[in-house]
Structures are given as structure tokens and as C-alpha cells.
Amino acid sequence: MADLTSDFIGIRSPNPFWLASAPPTDKAYNVERAYQAGWGGVVWKTLGSDGPPVVNVNGPRYGAIWGADRRLLGLNNIELITDRPLQVNLDEIKMVKRKWRDRALVISLMVPCDEESWKDILHRIADTEADGVELNFGCPHGMAERGMGSAVGQVPEYIEMVTRWVKKHSRMPCIVKLTPNVTNILGPAGAAKKGGADAVSLINTINSITSVNLDSFSPEPMIDGKGTHGGYCGPAVKPIAMNMVAEIARNRDTAGLPISGIGGVTTWRDAAEFMALGAGNVQVCTAAMTYGFKVVQEMISGLSQYLDEKGMALSDLIGRATPNVTDWQYLNLNYVTKARIDAEACIKCGRCYAACEDTSHQAIAMKPGRVFEVMDDECVACNLCVDVCPVENCITMVELPKGAVDPRTGKTVGDYANWTTHPNNPSVAAAE
């Protein structure tokens, strides 16, 4: 099997799969069970100061979005940081780390936005033997109302300031956990880098209301007839998370900043995609809460097999796809495809026809016997038919060779010699 040993900002673990800071990492019992199942590391559930106590609700804490088969697609939570005494957590962290020295153990922290509070908490955790700290600048609910969490993460100046405090008062590697509840992730990521962060992790949860009870007319989860916004996570947020990871990895001001990818990682393939876009490792929460800790075993075996088949080392995978992420204006207009329907694989459901006829380009004809055929002179290669077809590989996109005439436009494929004459290139448009 491929060697999955991970070295993320000097923190070594037997594999790149860590549990994210969340209920699964709230105490020693859970963390030890996670290590026994095979997780390479954990980020301990966020610790706070010894100030005003954190009190969680004693009713439902989670709301959900399901697929048609009741598969959990998204989870909304209104749980706060740990409500267990700080010293209890610190004692357990020290005990667990001494027993599991080969596993990564990072402590998530969130305290008021003043230097003394950060200095104090860093002093308190100094002898736990933990491998690093993660600054929780992401929680969008509960703690944000207290001037912490995303209230800090949405202000780049605060991110840089607090990160500098942490680097000043601690020798531990510092990961800054970023909120997705911003218009542009590059500002916060750049601020973390300026503040001296060793890495960033993202995404934290997305501000959300997942459902409304239409009998009581309250958002869910509902506490005594009332509800509130919470943090959204799970498979549904993966596309948002991957885009933000890629933006940081490919931007010249943040390129080279190590990234821990978070957001909907459920399978080894999800993890591989995050790492191909630039993440050095991944953190998981919802998948563990849905399927239990042993889900990591599939991730380990699947990623190992994939790397073996590709003849790649884990380090070869990280950032492999980053150079292929570009801006829309630089996409190649010479690349022309058309949809093709495999008549033998087709189950004649008509989804492709209905979707194209009603909402797209009327490029699929339905012939006698419910035989569906693509009309090249109308097909713009939008891929909608592929996406709605319930049969995998029944519909594929086939590239037209250079020199062929596109029946839809009448243009020869290859009219645009290279990207410098590309009509979408803003520099060319400005010159014209």
C-alpha cells in the first residue's frame, strides 16, 4: 500500500485524515476511539477561557438536509464551543497525547479578542504536549454574538492582529481556521499569512437555516418554539470549500501557504480532490458523525489504492490540479464538444430530452420508439443532459477534431490560434 505518512507544517501523522474540531473531538473517550479506528490526527473541540461559562442548549442542536434516499447531504448545528471545564480538557489532552505520540493532536482555541486573553490560554495549554493550535475564526453562531468566531474571521485586520499575538506568545505551529461567510476568502487568508500563520484551514461552517417547521412556524432545530441560524456543513458544502481552497492555492499573494481542507469530505475521492487543489491534508466531521469513526478505513484504503494505481506519492498529489484552475476568460474557445447518446445503454426515461427541450437548447430529438438523438447543429455542449441522465456514461461529450466545422456556428474548430488572441481575454479587448 502507498505510504500515506503526512507531514503538515511539521506535524507528523500516519495519514492525512484528521478529525475536525467538533463534537467528535470533545473528550478523551471519543478521541481515543478515533485513533483506534485509524484517524491520523484530531483537532480537539474548541477550548475557551475560564471566563463566563459556555452553556449549550438542552434541546435539538442539529438540523438536516436529506437527499431523496434519506442520505444526509447537509447538517446544520447550533452547538457552541466546549462547555466542559478548561482544566478537564487540558488534563485529557495531555493524557491522550502521551498515549498516542504517533498521532497528531491540535487544540482549537477561541477567546475574547484581546492580547491578554490569548496570552493566558496559550500559557495554559503550553505543557499539554499538543502538536499545534488552530485559531477558530469561523463559528457563525452563538460565539459570534460575543465578538468571537466569525466576528473576528470576517475582519482581516483582526485575523492578522490575533495571529501575531499567538505567534508572539507560543512556539506551537499555528493554523488559522477561516470562515466562508465572506465575499472573498483571499483577504482573510492573506491576513493570516501576514500575521505569521503556519497554515490555514477551511472552510468552517456556512451561516444557515435549513428548514422551517410549518406547524409551529419556527426555524429548526427548534428550542421551545424558537430557532436560530446555525453552521452548515456536510457533502453539500464541498463545492464551496474546494473553490476557496483553490483560490488560496493559486493566488500569488497566498500561494505556498499550507492548507488543511475542510468541507464535506466523505470518501477518499473527496480527500484526493481537496489535496489535488492544494490542501496538504483534510479534516472530517460530518462523515464521522454520520457513519462512525471507522469510515476512515475506507478513506485510507481507497487513497492508498489510487496512489498505487497512479504510481504517485502522496506529495505528488498535493497541488496537482492547481495549475489547471484558471479564470473563465482564459478558457479555450478552440475546444468544441458535442453530446453523444449510447442507444444501447439508454433506458428511454426521457430526462435528457425534457431538460434540453424545456430549459436548454432544444438539441435532442425524440424519434419513434423513444429513441433520443443529439442534433449537432443545436448542441452547445452545455453538459446538462449528462448531468440529469440516471445512467452513468450513457451520455458523453465528444471533442470535435481541429479543422472540423461546428454545425452550430459554421466555424472551423481552431479559428482562434492561441489564447493571446482569445476574444475573452480582457487585455486583448482593452487593446482593441
| Radius of gyration of the CA atoms of the chain, in A | 25
Q: Is 181 helix (H, G, I), strand (E, B) or coil?
A: coil
Contact status, residue 380 vs residue 338, Cβ threshold 8 Å: no
Angle between helix axes 115-125 and 86-99 (nearest 10 degrees) is: 40
Q: Considering the candidates 113, 139, 379, 389, report the single residue annotated as catalytic.
A: 139
Nearest-angstrom CA–CA distance, 143 and 80: 7
Nearest-angstrom CA–CA distance, 104 and 260: 13
Distant-in-sequence, close-in-space partners of 143: CB < 8 Å, separation ≥ 6:
80, 81, 110, 149, 151
Nearest-angstrom CA–CA distance, 344 and 293: 42
Distance of CA 33 to the CA centre of its chain: 24
* Residue 346 among the catalytic residues: no
Nearest-angstrom CA–CA distance, 180 and 175: 16
Distant-in-sequence, close-in-space partners of 347: CB < 8 Å, separation ≥ 6:
390, 391, 394
Nearest-angstrom CA–CA distance, 114 and 301: 45
Residues annotated catalytic, as ranges: 139
